[in-house]
Structure 1
């Protein structure tokens, strides 16, 4: 595993050593790989053709030959030309960060939607790599007729085949997403609040989810153990029922192909009444990880009005002094709950905090709006409070189920 640290690049949130450790964990998450070692390679700037300079290129080749390496992983972007040249120079197979994450996702996806999304992302990635996949670009298929043009090159034919496959996948995915939307619509008719768990990969979301719901979602000390969203109902101490959703873990520099492909999966977060941001508080870069999660939530368009509780997980992994200081902070902040999903410590307080945030009673009402109140009608649907809608001669009648806060916001419109 090689982590290129480029000095000329914009400042990163992370120390290169921690970035390398995360990359090594990514590699270990892929079954069948034996990770021999890792190295941070500092570069003044990336070499256009080979990424690394001549001296470093030769030095790494010696080490790869000596250890009989078959696969080199580069924790960063590698252009198709650089990939082709490095593979030729070193005589190995090479994957960049995007390729590695795609391999992990392809291995883990289980639901129909997850599989389709991974296939779509992989095709999008492969489309840019055709330059290295074909060395016979001069070969061309003949055109139609006796005096036709030279026809299309092999690379153009392959690109067209990929484009056609992507269109088919998007159609299939649209059907799956439509089914998920129908399921969400059905849940809206049952006025149970949705609590979504989000957080950096390996923060302990699935362990916490299992502890709170009694489910058996795969939970391992491994990056991207959970890919497919899982939902379960739980009953709070007061007897109130809520729906809890476990989501895919976030990661820094997530390939843009996957951000787009997994948007539908993460839409469960957009539907949430309360977000639990689970943090591995024992991780040396927990603040940087939290900032990355915040950036992704913002890019998803999560409304700032949605309540959020920070769940500081893995307090069992802290030393006594650090743990004591952290619990003092926890006591002072209403938006923070310190827990150990592994031992169950702090879960009663977390459930009480969830109860308090969702504590507003929901009210059933019937409203009437004129046709001119299109903005107010759109707001009601955005808030998912409409249980039934009927058109009248002068406008619409609505049956709504909402909180007092939502009622006040509506009146302010």
Structure 2
């Protein structure tokens, strides 16, 4: 497909979410992504629940616009073939546990030996050194170790809570895709290959620091225990549902007080400045809730909007898809998959003027382009057939239910 990364080739040895989502972002922007999977089963997300036509929604939603190749990386012929593909690639990306790539013969030195200016990317869970580097990792563990569960719980003395989406995985994917484009830009300027390493743990800690680590920013003034920003969420109950209202600035606070017919708030010394409204946040939010509870969500959406108060109805996932703003943005698209039928997905949020409309190719069967990609890399038909016969690779495999 046409896109700003058209002409770049990425060899993708990642699995699960963080790696595959990062390479899909790059594929959606026009890069050719060759996804290398094990001949027996492939990426684990192919096998999870939520399936139709032999494909899981998780795999479909993180692996469109890629070419699927199977190589047995425990076989010397599979490793040799992978290095031959790397020699033709601009980026090599893997998320094996630290040390595994080197052990099987696909570490940076081996890959750079066939393509000296390649961008070599490694994604880890906890890091590449230290006592936790070799531990198995899943998203909830990163949420726990990074402090995110405590932030979500509200304070150190509250019940920790998971964010109910795999935020560390997906955030790492976005960070990795940005790092790849930065590395390609550096290579274009210097002519030298780049090495990129990032961990899910580092990514989440960096992400939290901008808004949730204020009490630990000033060295020497750290609290003994982090207090909650508020014990009240910015989600209010109306007479028939829920609404979110955020009056942060002086202007929006004045507008809120007027819209709610509570102009006496504007003379209350506890709310005279932004800093004081923050100190008395719980009282401010309690008063706001009391004012909102007796009218419908529709009523308040009209009333608050008339006074330019930031507000939004609380939507379910199904309602979100049908919301007029979401539809106006065109973020949700429908495409046809040869096995799974009509699909609904989110298109890339970043749009690039001057490139063709987004028309993604569907996620492929396991090994769907093994023969084509190996042939393009210079393997003769007889060599490919021999590799398939010995188990170093496989032909396209029809998806099973």
Say which structure, 1 or 2, has more relative contact order (CA 8 Å, 6+ apart).
2
TM range (shorter): under 0.3
Higher fraction of strand = 1
